[in-house]
Structure formats: structure tokens, C-alpha cells
A and B are shown apart, each in its own frame.
Chain A
């Protein structure tokens, strides 16, 4: 039963994740943290960190990790399948008909609006993790340093996370 529920949940996540990457986070939070309580907000942030240090899309990493934690290897594989199933169906349909659809006014309008929507969704993910991830002076300093390093100095996320990990090992609070 848990398998079915997990496949269905990740199918839904895959189906409603427009804009890729960070815009998907709000959807995963809603389904996994708020609705099903499979993870706490703090665990969710850890998974995002792990996802960004390993190869592959965040949605797939999160699906595999959560599935494994809740239902072992089979759970991990089923959640992964669940999250890519909508892509397989819709992308295949679009591959065949996209060139025609693209010229339609309603189609263009939908994607213009969805682009703006994904900005809102990333901001929503930010609001949700903020309270659980930046909770003491040490965290504020790390956040500010990372923000400036990636935004102003274009440090890539992987290097930034590795440096943060080392800083955490040395100065972190347990």
C-alpha cells in the first residue's frame, strides 16, 4: 500500500513540476513534508544539499532518497519511476506535436504565465526552508557568505557546498 501511495505521490510531483530544478522544491515540500510527513523540514533541506552534490536532477535524487528511506531499494526505484512517468508520457506526445502547438496563442500564453509562476514557486520554497535552516548566528554567517560567493563571484554550487561542508566539520554546531 505504501508503494502505491509513493508512486502516486511522485507521479503527481513529476506532473506538476514546471520550470525544472528549484521550482520543483515547493511541490516536493508540499507533498512529502506537509501532506505525508515522510520527512521533516530539516531532513528535506539535507536531501536538497545531498542532491546538489551528486549527479542528476533534484527531482530524481529526492525521489530515490525518500523512497529508499521509507521502503528500501524497491521503494527508491518505484519513486524514481513515478517521478519520470509523467515526463515520459507528456514529452513523447509533445515531441510528436510540439512544432504545431508552439504557434498557438494559448500555448504561448500558458508558458509565459508559467515562467512567472515558477519564480513565485522558488520564492515559496525559500520561505519554507528559511526558518528551519537559518536558525542561529553561525547559520546566518554561512548563508551570507554562500549567497555572496555564488551571486557576486559566480562560485559553482558544488564547490560552494564542499567548502560549506568543511567549514561545518570544523566550526559547526552539533
Chain B
């Protein structure tokens, strides 16, 4: 059973490229339908929690599912399965990168990849803005955050703590 949990998450970890939002449908299919370890309702509750907790969403959801299925050992296996493919492949690339980083070909490669990454960040920004309930009345808030953190390099730590404190005060009022 433990090995099966590990293997399921290893498979998901190894074949999803592009972050958590690509992973979620696969995890759901594997644990709700294929293995039937958890009901869909429980999974969706866990997903909501995973998205509101700090840390990578994929890791959070594997913690929830692993624990749900087989307690602490299950949790450990699920987390290991999720992060191993990522850690191993990055270590390999980092080793190679070190050796070839200064070469002309690599410089050319990244001269196109760098602007591509900027596009990669810009597109989800539009989607996120839609889904987060942004409107004319509250747009000043993310706008101010972007200026504080992006232009004045204020640490996100302070901004996050202030936001949490403000929200709690708002709810108590």
C-alpha cells in the first residue's frame, strides 16, 4: 500500500510540467477514480485547504491525500513521490548547467528564453486577476502591493502579515 502511494505520486510528479495547476486534474484522477482512495468531496475540501496554505500546492495536496489514506507513513510516501522527480531532474540539470553556462550557445538559448519567461508570468496574471474578484473598487490594493514589492523591493513577508492582520480586523469589526 505504501509503495503504491509512493509510486502514484511519483508518476504524477514525473509527468507534470508547468506547476501545480497542471498537476491537480491528474492527482484527482489518480486518487479519486483510479485508486479510489478518497471521495471526490474530501479531495475538493483538501484542495481548497492546499490552495490556502503556504507552500507549493502540489506538495500540500499530497500531504493531505497521503495522510488521509495511510496516516504519517502515507504522508511521507506521497511527499517523497511528489518531490523526487523534481529534485533529481533539477540536480542533473544544475550539474550540466554549471559546466556549459558560459558558452555562446547557452547565452543565445537564454536570450530567447528570458523574454519568454516574462510572457509566462504575464499571462497567468490576467487569469488570476479575473478569478480573484478584482474590480474598480479594490484594484488599488494589488496595484499598491505590486509597487511596494516590485519597485520599492519591500519584502512580501511584511505585506502578507499586514494583509492577514487587516483581514482579521475587518472580520471582527
By a beta-carbon cutoff of 8 Å, the part of chain A in contact with chain B is 12, 14-27, 30-31, 34-35, 42, 45-46, 48-61, 64-65, 68-69, 73, 76-77, 80, 83-84, 86-88, 90-92, 94-95, 98-99, 102, 105-106, 108-130, 132-134, 138-140, 142-143, 146-147, 150-151, 156-158, 160-161, 164-165, 167-169, 171-174
Contact = CB atoms under 8 A, between A and B. Distances in A.
Contact of A21 (B19, B54, B118, B157): B19
Contact of B141 (A26, A120, A174): A120
Chain A at the B interface: SS class:
helix
A100 to B, nearest CB: 12
B36 interface: no
9 contacts: A54-B93, A56-B85, A57-B56, A95-B68, A121-B149, A150-B119, A150-B120, A173-B108, A174-B104
Nearest to B160: A16
B103 to A, nearest CB: 9
Top-9 shortest CB links A-B: A56-B86, A120-B145, A168-B112, A87-B55, A127-B150, A172-B108, A124-B150, A120-B142, A57-B56
Contacts of B91: 64, 68, 73, 76
Contacts of B125: 22, 119, 122-123, 126
Interface string B121-159: 111111011011110001001111111111101011101
Contacts of A21: 19-21, 57, 124
B128 A122 contact: yes
A87 B45 CA distance: 17
B154 to A, nearest CB: 8
A45 B114 contact: yes
Contact of A165 (B112, B156, B168): B112
B55 A84 contact: yes
Contact of A69 (B52, B98, B138, B144): B98
B60 interface: yes
A122 B33 CA distance: 34
Interface string B56-72: 11111001100110000
A125 B143 CA distance: 13
Contacts of A51: 90
Given A49-B113, A143-B116, A165-B113, A120 B93 contact: no
Contacts of B49: 91, 94-95, 98, 102
A92 B124 CA distance: 29
B150 A76 contact: no
A6 to B, nearest CB: 14
Contacts of A146: 115-116, 119-120
A55 B13 contact: yes
